[in-house]
């Protein structure tokens, strides 16, 4: 850079001439405008705003001017450079946005490509079904009780008023463990959990017990040596059949939807008296006994065989003999109990027709239900 | 229990306008559940007429069969009055017999269209029918031959056959034994419609005398009433009257001979089993006692039975001649030559009946009624009714001798009728319907009880036909069914105040969800195992898992044990899925397994709650049943695709399942190498919490994969879930973490190949001290550069201080200390 030169006539320094500066500025702006990519703009920046650009060179000359001339020239050059830089920045922004947009377009993928690197898992519908049922009762303030699958004979039978010679024992063919004199069986129903609950808790009792049970049934589409039941037990002061009906109606509606209720028929179970069979409004025809064949013609409902009802389970008022064996005062308390097949309930709900599908472990069953029922 | 409606109607004045559905609906509501209504002859259409065989010409055929070319007079039913030519394959008839003919244009059950057609060289115009072809029974020994007094040829045969008769099939609950008779069903029908009942048991019977056949009861607890009557000069060839035959057929019993048919008929009529002996074959007086050890009896079904000292037997001088109340003996059975019949009607102890029936696996119509309880006043009545029918239809003479022995025989010694006392408010309280006293009393009177009410207390004397009524709540059920179960309102009980799911229940759900979320599919399987399963697992002969709880009556004798491990079942399920075309399966199952305890569980009385000690003893005898989780990873764990190749499940995936569960539940799981069948001995981990082992994970032994038909390198897990759940902290402590900058350092250490990563990692942790935040292995290398028997482990260490930015020297010092500790404890050399 040159030192001050008082002999120098500013007007005579060519690069600082107003027209020169304007020309340089205009050239720069034109080039900036013409840049179509970030690379071109980078070159334009070097050419028109870099160290060797006309305006930069002009700027260098300012210092050599006499002080009187510096202000005027400085303002002129500074303004021009400012305009160029501004245009550069603006153009940069535009080009960057364009670049980004182009990149995104280029990165487009086919989102319908498969994404199932890890196959989906799932929980068994019997598990989620049992939970669904339990939750209906838990929401009413009931608790979920449990007991072992291999059970003392006394709890499975005697305590429930099924004495050693009770004819009802032939109704449930039992898996006995060896030696027989150990009096241990695979539980034939979830009812021993009733006994256990009464033996270990104080009334009032409101428990539901979903669980696995065993009977020596041959394995076919509707029978299995292992199946699942849900047992309910309420022991309180003033419990009546009306409470039982109320509870089961609520259960049915929660399980199968509005309009599905229960019907009682007299029956016999040693552990309840009075006893009842529970029928459920047919969830297919919803009690109408007929269904639309699909062509507007009404035909007899196949699910309930035109009865409007289907068998669901058994229930009754807890036999006072059971209360006594389990240490509940029958003078003070009464109770009700009920039991339904979960497998059957599940088949109703899901339309499965072969019980064996539930137990053969094909992953296609479970994954069809996802992780919840 | 099948019951013809016409038979029921004999004893009850049902309004004529009542349809069968109204009747069965009401009876179902009363507890006699409708199973099915059969209408005999359903499915028969068109001309079904009486025919009389005019000619019958046997014609042998090439196939060895002989057919009969017949001409049959069918009156004007064929429109011509000419005899009808019909080919018939049966031979149980002769010219002159009246038969049942379906003419062309008719339809038999199963939509079998009848037309004139050419067969065996004749134009056969119609068919002579068998009972089976008409849907009237299973017997097809030949065609139906009608009695000689059947209507004239050409008459519609439906009436002669009793077609159109409605038979109701009921499902009778074991407590309602009375409904195993027309008498009982009619009784409920009468009370159901509040119409008069005509009790068929209401009859005058001759008084007992000393002239009857000698009978002695040595066991009055087993048999408290024995009535014997004799008919002599009976015609053993006399046919069973049609109405009895038809009704027996309708209730599902084969007609055998008049003598047998009458005893069956009266049993269905009144509900009391009856036995008939050929009196000529009896030797000396009848004695009722328990069997002696070693005694044998050939029963009516020609089976030799080894008698048990608990079995009740009827004996004569030759020894046992019948199993009392269950089945008669062959030696005194009535036959085609029997002219003198001794009738036995005895009241037996239901428990003995049940036990004997079970012991000898005998179910009979008699046993079914005797073990459930019959009306103890019926014996003389039923015996008299049998005598009446035998004399009426088989000729002969009713001997004046009437034997009645046992305490049941006289009013003084007879068990008094049961009385039950209840607060009259009990039905209202238990049923939940507001019932006035009158309704309660009326309901009980309808079933035949005598009722007394005093100061709010009701005492009912129970009718003898209802031995099932003993307890107060039994009366409540009677009131409830008569008032109607459909009248019970729907009222939710008061809101319970439970504490929701228990922690363990919540955690089990969480575990299931976590496993499903990790891509595992839950299955449910049977818990039955056998030795072959254990062999396939490669368990040693003395492996504790071979000690199962054994089933006395397994469904499959190859699988007599209750599972001690879930793996055999799960491995089979995995193989099934693979064989059905899955490229890989990741399965889990949670279920309890069982370990025997070899203690007998006591049987207590039921008149009180067992004491605390008694309960303890009972519970201690129940096999230990921990909840297990088993996992099988077989074949592809991840799928192949545009992202790259499929990954096969490996030992590490199995161990990761357990580690992840630990992380999910906030329980640190320790992993150490182990050797345990069915796992690969070098690729098996034992998992523990606080030093307590709770299961294994890793790759399956190659032989196990082969034995179960699984892909090579399949991996498995089995853990005690109860143990894991028990270790889950009740509340998780909130973590404290620093927000200061992290300092990262990598170290590469060379160690002997048998040094575990866990050991090196533990040493690094110990040496690095508190500034170390995490340590993670990121590479393992074995090869020339580290030398034989060595491996190189590369760890990433992250350091952080709680309160400041770490200086480079501090981090370096901690790192050096970590390396030094690793060198000291594991012989590690920094590379």
Whichever domain contains B371, its CATH number is 3.50.40.10
CA B585/CA B634 separation, integer angstroms: 5
Q: Are B341 and B282 in contact (CB under 8 A)?
A: no
Q: What is the mean pLDDT of residues B365-375?
A: 93
Q: What ipTM was predicted for this assembly?
A: 0.85
The CATH number linked to B770 is: 3.30.70.380
Cβ contact, residue pair A168, B477, below 8 Å: no
Residue scoring higher pLDDT (A367 or B566): B566
CA B540/CA B548 separation, integer angstroms: 15
CA B761/CA B777 separation, integer angstroms: 8
Asked whether residue B202 is assigned to any structural domain, the reply reads no
In chain B, the N- to C-terminal Cα span, in Å, equals 90
Contacts of B523 in chain A (CB under 8 A): 124, 361, 363, 366
Contacts of A126 in chain B (CB under 8 A): 524
pLDDT band, residue B363 (cuts 50/70/90)? confident
A364 to chain B, minimum CA–CA distance in Å? 9
Mutation for B interface: A188, A207, A240, A261, most B CBs within 10 A: A240
According to the model, what pLDDT value does residue B134 have?
83
Chain A residue with CA closest to B481: the answer is: A266
Q: In B580-709, where does DSSP find H-type helix?
A: 612-620, 651-665, 702-708
Chain B residue with CA closest to A136: the answer is: B500
Residue scoring higher pLDDT (B224 or B137): B224
Kindly report the backbone phi and psi dihedral angles of residue B287, in degrees, each rounded to the nearest multiple of 5, phi listed first.
-125, 135
Counting residues of chain B whose pLDDT is more than 90, the rounded percentage is 80
Contacts of B594 in chain A (CB under 8 A): 149-150
The answer, for B79 touching chain A at a CB cutoff of 8 Å, is no
Cβ contact, residue pair A361, B573, below 8 Å: yes
CA B507/CA B510 separation, integer angstroms: 5
> Can you tell me whether residue B473 is helix, strand or coil?
helix
List, in sequence order, every beta strand (DSSP E) within B575-678.
584-592, 627-638, 647-648, 670-674
Q: Are A25 and A83 in contact (CB under 8 A)?
A: yes
* In chain B, residues 696-755 whose CB comes closer than 8 Å to chain A: none
pLDDT in tens, B96-130: 999 999 999 888 888 888 888 888 888 888 999 88
Name beta bridge partners: B36: B169
Q: Of the candidates A143, A177, A276, which has its C-beta nearest B551's C-beta?
A: A177
* Range from A36-40, B37-41, B421-425 that averages highest in pLDDT: B421-425
Asked whether residue B131 is assigned to any structural domain, the reply reads yes
According to the model, what pLDDT value does residue A1 have?
45
Q: In B360-471, where does DSSP find H-type helix?
A: 365-372, 379-394, 426-431, 437-446
Contacts of A118 in chain B (CB under 8 A): 519, 637-639
Are B608 and B713 within one domain? yes
Are B109 and B12 within one domain? no
Are B393 and B434 within one domain? no
Are B608 and B580 within one domain? yes
Cβ contact, residue pair A219, B429, below 8 Å: no
pLDDT band, residue B163 (cuts 50/70/90)? confident
Q: Are A265 and B31 in contact (CB under 8 A)?
A: yes
Cβ contact, residue pair A164, B513, below 8 Å: no
Mutation for A interface: B476, B573, B606, most A CBs within 10 A: B606
A257 to chain B, minimum CA–CA distance in Å? 17
Contacts of A250 in chain B (CB under 8 A): 492
According to the model, what pLDDT value does residue A7 have?
53
Contacts of A178 in chain B (CB under 8 A): 550-552
A136, containing H or E segment = helix A125-138
* In chain B, residues 439-478 whose CB comes closer than 8 Å to chain A: 471-474, 476-477
pLDDT in tens, A219-249: 998 899 999 999 999 999 999 999 999 999 9
Q: Of the candidates A122, A149, A321, which has its C-beta nearest B522's C-beta?
A: A122
Are B796 and B822 within one domain? yes
The CATH number linked to B467 is: 3.30.56.10
Are B105 and B125 within one domain? yes
Handedness of CA B237, B243, B244, B249 (dihedral sign): positive
Are B146 and B255 within one domain? no
Are B12 and B126 within one domain? no
According to the model, what pLDDT value does residue A13 have?
67
According to the model, what pLDDT value does residue B135 have?
79
Q: Are A247 and A234 in contact (CB under 8 A)?
A: yes
Q: What is the mean pLDDT of residues B343-356?
A: 94
Q: How many CB atoms lie within 10 A of CB A14?
A: 10
Asked whether residue B418 is assigned to any structural domain, the reply reads no
CA B383/CA B227 separation, integer angstroms: 7
Residue scoring higher pLDDT (B149 or A12): B149
Question: From residue A132, how far is each of A108, A139, A283, A372 by CA, in Å?
Answer: 43, 11, 18, 9
Are B476 and B440 within one domain? yes
Q: What is the mean pLDDT of residues B295-319?
A: 94
CA B190/CA A138 separation, integer angstroms: 45
According to the model, what pLDDT value does residue A99 have?
92
Are B760 and B631 within one domain? no
Burial bucket for residue B169 (CB in 10 Å: 0-12, 13-18, 19+): middle
- The yes-or-no verdict on residue B240 having pLDDT over 70 is yes
The answer, for B37 touching chain A at a CB cutoff of 8 Å, is no
According to the model, what pLDDT value does residue B140 have?
59
Number of domains within chain B: 6
Mutation for A interface: B34, B473, B552, most A CBs within 10 A: B473
Asked whether residue B207 is assigned to any structural domain, the reply reads no
Contacts of A238 in chain B (CB under 8 A): 429
Kindly report the backbone phi and psi dihedral angles of residue B775, in degrees, each rounded to the nearest multiple of 5, phi listed first.
-135, 135
In chain A, the N- to C-terminal Cα span, in Å, equals 85
Contacts of A324 in chain B (CB under 8 A): 606-609
Contacts of B499 in chain A (CB under 8 A): 143
Asked whether residue B720 is assigned to any structural domain, the reply reads yes
Mean pLDDT taken over chain B:
93
> Where a domain ends, among B674, B695, B726?
B726
- State the number of CA atoms in the 13 A half-sphere of B469 facing the CB: 27
Out of 3.20.20.70, 3.90.1580.10, 3.30.930.10, 1.10.645.10, the CATH code matching A125-368 is 3.30.930.10
Which positions ≥6 away from B736 have C-beta within 8 Å?
B802
Q: Of the candidates A141, A158, A366, which has its C-beta nearest B497's C-beta?
A: A141
Q: Of the candidates B521, B607, B621, which has its C-beta nearest A122's C-beta?
A: B521
Contacts of A335 in chain B (CB under 8 A): none
Domain that holds residue B756: 743-830
Q: Are B583 and B646 in contact (CB under 8 A)?
A: yes
A187 to chain B, minimum CA–CA distance in Å? 12
The CATH number linked to B630 is: 3.30.930.10
According to the model, what pLDDT value does residue A65 have?
81
> Can you tell me whether residue B409 is helix, strand or coil?
helix
CA B757/CA A64 separation, integer angstroms: 74
List, in sequence order, every beta strand (DSSP E) within B487-579.
521-522, 528-529, 549-550, 561-562
Low-confidence ranges of chain A (pLDDT < 70): 1-13, 167-172, 370-373
Q: How many CB atoms lie within 10 A of CB B734?
A: 5
Burial bucket for residue A313 (CB in 10 Å: 0-12, 13-18, 19+): buried
pLDDT in tens, B725-774: 999 998 888 888 999 999 999 999 999 999 999 999 999 999 999 999 99
Sheet with strand B743-752: strands edge to edge: B772-781, B790-799, B743-752, B829-830
Q: Are A23 and A30 in contact (CB under 8 A)?
A: no
Contacts of B509 in chain A (CB under 8 A): 131
The answer, for B496 touching chain A at a CB cutoff of 8 Å, is yes
Are B62 and B80 within one domain? yes
Asked whether residue B204 is assigned to any structural domain, the reply reads no
Are B177 and B255 within one domain? no
The answer, for B603 touching chain A at a CB cutoff of 8 Å, is yes
Cβ contact, residue pair B600, A182, below 8 Å: yes
According to the model, what pLDDT value does residue B210 have?
93
């Amino acid at each position: 850079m040159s030192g001050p030169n008082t002999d120098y006539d500013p007007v005579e320094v060519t690069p600082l001439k107003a027209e020169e500066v304007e020309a340089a500025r205009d050239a720069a702006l034109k080039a900036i405008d013409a840049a179509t990519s970030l690379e071109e703009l980078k070159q334009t920046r070097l050419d028109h705003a870099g160290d060797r650009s006309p305006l930069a060179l002009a700027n260098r000359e300012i210092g050599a001017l006499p002080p009187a001339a510096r202000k005027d020239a400085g303002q002129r050059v500074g303004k021009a450079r400012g305009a160029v830089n501004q245009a550069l920045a603006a153009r940069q922004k535009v080009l960057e946005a364009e670049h980004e947009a182009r990149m995104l377009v280029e990165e487009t993928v086919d989102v319908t490509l498969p994404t199932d690197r890890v196959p989906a898992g799932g929980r068994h519908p019997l598990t989620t079904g049992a939970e669904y049922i339990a939750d209906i009762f838990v929401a009413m303030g009931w608790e979920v009780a449990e007991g072992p699958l291999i059970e003392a004979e006394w709890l499975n039978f005697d305590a429930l008023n099924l004495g050693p010679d009770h004819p009802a024992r032939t109704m449930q063919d039992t898996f006995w463990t060896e030696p027989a004199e150990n009096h241990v069986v695979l539980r034939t129903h979830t009812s021993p959990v009733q006994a256990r609950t009464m033996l270990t808790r104080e009334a009032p009792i409101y428990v539901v017990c979903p669980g696995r049970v065993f009977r020596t049934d041959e394995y076919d589409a509707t029978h299995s040596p292992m199946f699942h039941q849900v047992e309910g037990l309420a022991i309180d002061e003033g419990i009546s059949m009306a409470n039982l009906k109320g509870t089961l109606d609520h259960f049915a509606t929660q399980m199968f939807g509005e309009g599905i209720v229960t019907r009682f028929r007299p029956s016999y179970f040693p552990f309840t008296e009075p006893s009842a069979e529970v029928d459920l409004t047919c969830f297919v025809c919803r009690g109408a006994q007929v269904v639309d064949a699909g062509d507007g013609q009404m035909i007899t409902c196949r699910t309930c065989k035109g009865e409007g009802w289907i068998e669901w389970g058994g229930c009754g008022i807890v036999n006072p003999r059971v209360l006594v064996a389990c240490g509940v005062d029958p003078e003070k308390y009464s109770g009700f109990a009920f039991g339904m097949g979960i497998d059957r309930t599940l088949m109703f709900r899901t339309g499965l027709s072969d019980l064996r599908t539930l137990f053969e472990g094909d992953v296609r069953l479970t994954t069809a239900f996802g992780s919840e029922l | 229990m099948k019951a013809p409606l016409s038979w029921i109607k004999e004893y009850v004045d049902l309004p004529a306008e009542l349809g069968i559905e109204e009747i069965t609906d009401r009876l179902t509501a009363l507890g006699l559940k409708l199973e099915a209504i059969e209408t005999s002859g359903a499915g028969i259409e068109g001309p079904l007429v009486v025919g009389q065989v005019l000619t019958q010409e046997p014609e042998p055929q090439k196939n060895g069969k002989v057919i009969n070319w017949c001409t049959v007079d069918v009156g004007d039913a064929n429109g011509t009055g000419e005899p009808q030519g019909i080919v018939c394959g049966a031979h149980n008839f002769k010219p002159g017999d009246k038969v049942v003919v379906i003419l062309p244009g008719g339809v038999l059950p199963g939509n079998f269209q009848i037309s004139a057609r050419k067969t065996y060289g004749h134009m056969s115009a119609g068919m002579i029918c068998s009972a089976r072809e008409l849907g009237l029974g299973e017997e097809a020994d030949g065609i139906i031959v009608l009695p000689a007094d059947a209507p004239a040829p050409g008459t519609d045969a439906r009436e002669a056959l009793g077609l159109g008769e409605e038979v109701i099939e009921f499902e009778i609950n074991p407590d309602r034994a009375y409904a195993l008779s027309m008498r009982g069903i009619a009784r409920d029908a009468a009370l159901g419609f509040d119409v008069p009942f005509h009790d068929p048991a209401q009859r005058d019977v001759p008084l007992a005398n000393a002239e009857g056949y000698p009978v002695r009861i040595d066991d009055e607890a087993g048999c408290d009433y024995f009535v014997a009557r004799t008919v002599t000069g009976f015609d053993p060839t006399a046919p069973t009257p049609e109405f009895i035959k038809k009704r027996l057929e309708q209730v599902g019993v084969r007609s055998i001979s008049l003598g047998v048919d009458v005893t069956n008929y009266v049993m269905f009529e009144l509900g009391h089993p009856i036995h008939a002996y050929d009196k000529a074959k009896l030797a000396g007086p009848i004695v009722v006692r328990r069997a002696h050890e070693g005694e044998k009896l050939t029963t009516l079904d020609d089976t030799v039975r080894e008698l048990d000292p608990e079995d009740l037997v009827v004996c004569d001088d030759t020894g046992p001649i019948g199993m009392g109340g269950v089945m008669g003996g062959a030696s005194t059975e009535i036959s085609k030559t029997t002219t003198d019949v001794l009738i036995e009607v005895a009241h037996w102890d239901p428990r003995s009946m049940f036990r004997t029936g079970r012991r000898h696996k005998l179910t009979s119509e008699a046993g079914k009624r005797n073990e459930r309880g019959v009306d103890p006043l019926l014996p003389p009545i039923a015996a008299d009714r049998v005598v009446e029918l035998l004399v009426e239809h088989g000729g002969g003479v009713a001997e004046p001798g009437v034997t009645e022995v046992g305490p049941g025989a006289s009013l003084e010694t007879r068990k008094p009728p049961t009385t039950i006392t209840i607060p009259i408010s009990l039905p209202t309280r238990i049923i939940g319907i507001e019932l006035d006293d009158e309704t309660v009393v009326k309901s009980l009177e309808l079933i035949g009880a005598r009722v007394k009410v005093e100061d709010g207390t009701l005492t009912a004397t129970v009718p003898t036909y209802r031995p099932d009524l003993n307890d107060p709540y039994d009366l409540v059920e009677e009131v409830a069914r008569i008032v109607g179960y459909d009248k019970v309102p729907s009222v939710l009980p008061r809101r319970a105040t439970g504490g929701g799911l228990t922690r363990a229940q919540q955690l089990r759900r969480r575990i299931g969800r976590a496993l499903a979320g990790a891509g595992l599919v839950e299955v449910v399987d049977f818990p039955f195992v056998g030795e072959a399963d254990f062999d396939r697992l490669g368990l040693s002969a003395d492996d504790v898992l071979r000690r199962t709880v054994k089933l006395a009556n397994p469904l499959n004798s190859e699988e007599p044990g209750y599972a001690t491990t879930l793996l055999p079942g799960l491995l089979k399920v995995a193989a099934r899925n693979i064989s059905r075309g899955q490229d890989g399966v990741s399965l889990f199952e949670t279920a309890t397994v069982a370990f025997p305890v070899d203690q007998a569980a006591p049987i207590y009385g039921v008149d009180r709650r067992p004491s605390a000690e008694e309960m303890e003893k009972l519970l201690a005898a129940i096999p230990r049943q921990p909840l297990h989780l088993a996992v099988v990873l077989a074949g592809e764990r991840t799928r192949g695709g545009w992202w790259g190749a499929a990954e096969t499940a490996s030992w590490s995936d199995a161990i990761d399942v357990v580690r992840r569960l630990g992380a999910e539940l906030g329980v640190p799981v320790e992993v150490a190498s182990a050797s345990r069948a069915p796992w690969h001995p070098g690729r098996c981990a034992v998992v523990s919490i606080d030093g307590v082992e709770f299961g294994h994970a890793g790759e399956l032994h190659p032989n196990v994969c082969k034995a179960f038909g699984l892909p090579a390198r399949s991996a498995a897990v089995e853990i005690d879930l109860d143990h894991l759940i028990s270790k889950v902290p009740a509340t998780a402590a909130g973590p404290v973490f620093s927000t200061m900058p992290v300092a990262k350092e990598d170290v590469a250490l060379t160690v002997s190949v048998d040094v575990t990563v866990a050991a090196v990692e533990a040493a690094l942790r110990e040496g690095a001290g508190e500034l170390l935040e995490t340590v993670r292995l990121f590479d393992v290398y074995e090869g020339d550069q580290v030398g034989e028997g060595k491996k190189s482990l590369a760890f990433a260490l992250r350091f952080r201080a709680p309160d400041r930015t770490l200086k480079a020297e501090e981090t370096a010092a901690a790192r050096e200390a970590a390396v030094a500790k690793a060198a000291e404890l594991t012989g590690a050399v920094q590379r």
